[in-house]
Amino acid sequence: MALLDIAGVSVRFGNVPALRGVSLSVDAGEAVAVLGANGAGKTTLLRAIMGRVPVESGTLTLDGEAIGGMRTSGLVDRGLSLCPEGRQLFPAMSVEDNLLLGANRAVIRVARARLATIYERFPWLRERRSVLAGAFSGGEQQIVAIGRALMAAPRLLLLDEPSSGLSPVAIGRVRELLGQVRETGTAILLVEQNVQLAAAMTGRGYVLNRGTIAASGDTAALVESEALADAYLGGAA
């Protein structure tokens, strides 16, 4: 049984369909990519999983439990965590305070224990824990954002364009960090336009084009596929 199973999910904004019958799955400990151009529906998909937009039809299950319509807080309690596009840190707050926000569902004792684990895993964050998040570069802020998402102790980490706007050096650091996350057994659903990063980080993936799944399979093969070329060049799914 898949950790996350999405079957026939559709989302509509007014008269505009954003997702049309999307089906995908992520197994425990697996890293899966969702590839596609801007406007393909990738962010909407993650927001639907996290209960931030209503699902018109279809089912979402986590470990066999139906989660469609569940509040975001309940989904976090069940093991989902989202690292959003654009990082969305609080720039006037310290690194540590930003991190602790990721554990706001936990009692303080548990939150502090998780913080210690994050610092042990990523010493760079401990060294800069008192620095305001707004003082960092985009790549450094992305590391803080991933750390904040991990503070929820997720079984499945959802990542929305973590390489967006970053330099090649910063993307390399993010890739290294996500490799460490995978080593802990945390499953990853990676939404990315950077196909090289997706191919390096995931073994399996899906191509999303105009709200529908155009192809699925081995990520490295998808990177070379006609379906992905169509998605990026504006072809039909």
Copy the structure tokens of residue 188: 């990853």
| pLDDT, average across residues 103-109 | 94
Sheet holding 212-218, edge to edge: 80-83, 156-160, 187-192, 31-35, 204-209, 212-218
Q: Taking the domains of the chain in order of start, what are their residue ranges?
A: 4-233
Pairing of strands 31-35, 187-192: parallel
Q: How many CA atoms lie within 13 Å of 147's alpha carbon, on the beta-carbon side?
A: 30
Confidence of residue 121 (pLDDT cuts 50, 70, 90): confident
Instruction: Say what percent of the chain tops pLDDT 70.
Output: 98
Q: Which of 9-18, 45-54, 192-201, 225-234 has the lowest mean pLDDT?
A: 225-234
Nearest CA to 126 out of 111, 144, 142 is that of 144
Backbone φ and ψ for 13, nearest 5 degrees, come out as -110, 100
- Model-level pTM? 0.93
6-45 per-position pLDDT tens digit: 999 999 999 999 999 999 999 999 999 999 988 899 999 9
**Quick one: the chain helix, strand, coil %, rounded to 5?**
40, 25, 35
Instruction: Say whether pLDDT at 175 is over 70.
Output: yes
Instruction: Say whether pLDDT at 237 is over 50.
Output: no
Sheet holding 4-13, edge to edge: 16-26, 4-13, 57-62, 65-66
| pLDDT, average across residues 197-213 | 95
CATH number for domain 4-233, candidates 3.90.550.10, 3.40.50.300, 3.40.50.11030, 3.20.20.70: 3.40.50.300
Angstrom distance (rounded) from CA 187 to CA 183: 10
